[in-house]
Amino acid sequence: MQMRNVMITLMACGLASMVASVQARELVSNDRYMCSWGAGTAARAQELKLAGVSLYAARQKLQAYKFSKPWMRMMAMGITEQTYDSNSRIKPAAIREGFYEDCLRYKLARK
């Protein structure tokens, strides 16, 4: 009985990884770039928040930063404000991972 449960679990994990790899291939590289960039932005905002930097100071840092694409500044402001509005004390690495995974899920759902 227990061996059967182990086999079912292994098969489910294998199927889930196959589905994830197929879904991952459907995303264009720009989607991955946007999700990765947003995840990094959220992680940096969380670092600043946990370090005690005020939202005002975080906004000032973003205003001084040179972004490579026009949409990035406003997106970074929005991500930073949402991060500061949250009561979360999660580590920045966990924020980065969660944001990235949620973003990819969102991009896949839109396709």
Mean pLDDT (whole number) for 15-41: 73
Mean pLDDT rounded to a whole number for the chain: 83
How distant, in Å, are the alpha carbons of 38, 66, 67 from that of 70? 14, 10, 7
What integer pLDDT is reported at residue 25 of this predicted model? 55
Q: Is 48 helix (H, G, I), strand (E, B) or coil?
A: helix
pTM over 0.75: no
What integer pLDDT is reported at residue 110 of this predicted model? 84
Mean pLDDT (whole number) for 77-103: 95
Longest pairwise C-alpha distance within the chain: 62
What integer pLDDT is reported at residue 4 of this predicted model? 47
Cβ contacts of 98 within 8 Å, gap of 6 or more: 90
% of residues, the chain, pLDDT over 90:
67
How does pLDDT run across 54-85, given as a tens digit for each residue?
999 999 999 999 999 999 999 999 999 999 99
